[in-house]
Chain A
Amino acid sequence: MSHKILAKDKLDAFLQGLCRDQDLFAPVMKDGKVGWAPVTTAAEALWEFSNSELSPKDFFFPQTECMMRFKNVQGDPQGMIMQAEPALNKPRVLLNIRPCDAKAFQVLDMIFVQDEMTNDLYWRDKREKTTLIGLACNDPCPTCFCTTVGSNPHGTTGLDVLLTDIGDKLVAESFTAKGEALLKELPEVTRQDLFQAGELKKAAEAKITSGVAVDKINAATVMELYDAPLWDRVMESCLNCGTCTFCCPTCHCFDIQDETQGEAGRRVRNWDYCMSWLFTMHGTGHNPRGTKKDRVRQRFMHKFKYIPVKRGGEIGCVGCGRCVQLCPVNIDVRKVVNDMNA
């Protein structure tokens, strides 16, 4: 909507404004790892980094989330009645989020909030109360492949504001009314600054050299892909651990359990993962995804076939490359997808 300039020596004042009645979070370096933490000054936050090791999805979809509480007493008038947990009490700002992660939230919006019946208030509450200020990637990693899955190192999808570092200042572009309001006080951008940001975008895109192709996956039927011989090789080394799922910005499966302790009871939602045999285990003892091959196949099929089929071509992967870096047995999603596309 508008392009403004944020000088680096004015950052602290800008952040102070953000902190006034909101919680501000940003990627920080801690114990040699990039993770998210509350910040109040520009110096605490990272401005040059590749990306956080884990995705910031837990701001909206915590790994463990209490949904409701109840009194675990049969016969009591107040017993066994679910009480809602309080909603998020303070708006949040996520600063310096990468465009790929912001894009992921938009993909997840399509899943958590579909229609009146599928309308996850836990997700929605936190989404509505959060402002996303992105920081464009000028220096993508060798494992990044966002441009080939519909995202971009300078992508704007899902963001309120995108900051582009052009040296001693940042170009700030807003895309929503919320973003616009934040930038109101800032000076206008010059043609030269915009040109520089554009050049950086082109340079960043050029740095992404690896990628996936999905044209043949789109053309193939589900069963052709399902029965393809490649899964026998992909599954071989897989440990069936949850690393890829838990670091992934778009993986969103969960398991809801009721926990009780004496008279206390709560309903909790925990992250779950399709690589786990327990994930699909039925009470009958039957497991529809009983083998390692079934489970490994599920993850890739879900992201690159089922989601595109059901969500108008949207891919369930934003190309952040986290799973490529963290998989203990180096199952590289790019290779798997390109094999699927063969």
Chain B
Amino acid sequence: MEAIAQKIREAAKKLLSEGKVDVVIGYAKGSVPMREYPYFAYTPEEAENLTWSSFCCNNLALYTIRRPGRMAVVAQGCVSRNLVNLINENQIKRENLYVIGLNSPGMVDRRKVQALFPGKTITEVIEEPEHLLVKGQGFEERIERKKFLRSNCLTCVQRNPVISDELIGQAGPEGHGGNIDNVAAPWEKLIPAERWAEMQETFKDCIRCYACRDACPLCYCYVCFVDEAQPQWCAKSQDEADVMTFHLLRAFHCAGRCTDCGTCESACPQGIKMRRLTSKIEKDIRELYGYRPGMEIGAQPPMSLFKPNDPQDFIK
């Protein structure tokens, strides 16, 4: 990890000192363990703060939206897919973008790590090639990194960047062995009443902070439907109907666009698994329309397309 981080810093310094870009958007080390944060380096000196670790969970494509000037973005597979999405949706211009691509090792879910030490405070996590050394008040344990990957990283299909102007390190293997169809599968087997019970259980802790929406590089509407007041599609209360309306429509708005980057789940302060909804849509889009979002510049988003023979068994 540190070797990759060093290469990122070198690449950023070079870009900034040569004046090729105005800013390099990458990750910096957070003030608490397991929480790296999006960092903007404007000078070669600031580029020293860039890092790369198992906890780079925010999707940096978000910060390219409506940002003027030339920018470089540190992009693993999912971030690059979202950049492609944004290019295809005419939100950013390829020529203003310099992609510092790299193979994603899969990011670690800090909640899974924390769950190993219930009620204890983790003070430091040290990266080792295949392990993480977790230290806290009165304990120290070495854990196997790949057992604690975020669930979306386990089902990843694109670890290498789709587009890149420069590749850091080597292109690596694809996949982590998981299958995204297994995320939706357990619910698909249930009867409607059980599914609804699962929905209630999944979203019962939602506090409607909208971190999932705000962290998502797909959610760039000037006015989100939940913020619309005339008409008000969704009231601001904690009523179940309002919470569900938000999550269902938010998920639907990601149809044919969601790259399963997992930033929504990583951002959620309550640990809600909203991928249970988006993974179902991802599966539908792939099976019905043969499309995977963000894989190719110039591809048309499936929800703005049709084919004469699209499936319509359910229409009378």
Contact = CB atoms under 8 A, between A and B. Distances in A.
B31 A329 contact: no
Given A63-B207, A64-B238, A29 B118 contact: yes
Given A241-B267, A328-B266, A270 B121 contact: no
B211 A243 contact: yes
B211 A242 contact: yes
A236 interface: yes
B170 interface: no
Interface of B: 30-32, 35-40, 58, 62-63, 111, 114-115, 118-119, 121, 123, 137, 207-211, 213-215, 227, 229, 235-239, 266-271
Nearest to B232: A257
A331 B214 CA distance: 15
Contacts of B215: 239, 241, 328-329
Given A29-B119, A242-B210, A243-B211, A237 B31 contact: no
Given A32-B114, A328-B58, A243 B237 contact: no
B211 A241 contact: yes
A220 B236 CA distance: 37
A330 B36 contact: yes
Given A142-B121, A325-B32, A330-B31, A245 B209 contact: yes
Interface residues of A, number: 47
Interface of B is mostly: loop
A64 B209 contact: no
A273 interface: yes
Nearest to A283: B229
Contact of A239 (B32, B115, B235, B267): B267
Given A48-B119, A328-B266, A328-B267, A255 B236 contact: yes
A67 interface: no
A237 B38 contact: yes
B209 to A, nearest CB: 4
Contact of A257 (B114, B214, B235): B235
B123 A142 contact: yes
A252 to B, nearest CB: 15
A148 B112 CA distance: 32
Given A237-B39, A237-B40, 6 more contacts: A29-B119, A237-B58, A239-B267, A246-B209, A273-B209, A328-B58
Contacts of B121: 50, 141-142
Interface of A is mostly: loop
Interface string A19-58: 0000000000100111000000000001011100110000
A33 B227 CA distance: 30
B32 A54 contact: no
A334 B40 CA distance: 20
B119 to A, nearest CB: 6
A236 B40 contact: yes
A326 B215 CA distance: 13
Given A32-B114, A241-B210, A270-B237, A334 B31 contact: yes
Interface of A: 29, 32-34, 46, 48-50, 53-54, 63-64, 139, 141-143, 233, 236-237, 239-243, 245-247, 255, 257, 259, 268, 270, 272-273, 276-278, 324-326, 328-332, 334-335
Contacts of B238: 63-64, 270
Nearest to A62: B238
Contacts of A237: 37-40, 58, 63
Nearest to A268: B237
Given A324-B32, A325-B32, A330-B32, A242 B119 contact: no
Contacts of B267: 239, 241, 243, 328
B207 A257 contact: no
A201 to B, nearest CB: 18
Nearest to A326: B269
B271 A242 contact: no
B209 A54 contact: no
A247 B30 contact: no
Contacts of A268: 235, 237
11 contacts: A32-B111, A32-B115, A142-B121, A237-B40, A240-B214, A242-B207, A242-B211, A246-B207, A247-B269, A259-B235, A330-B36
A142 B136 CA distance: 10
B209 A242 contact: yes
A33 B207 contact: no
Given A141-B121, A330-B36, A330-B37, A53 B269 contact: yes
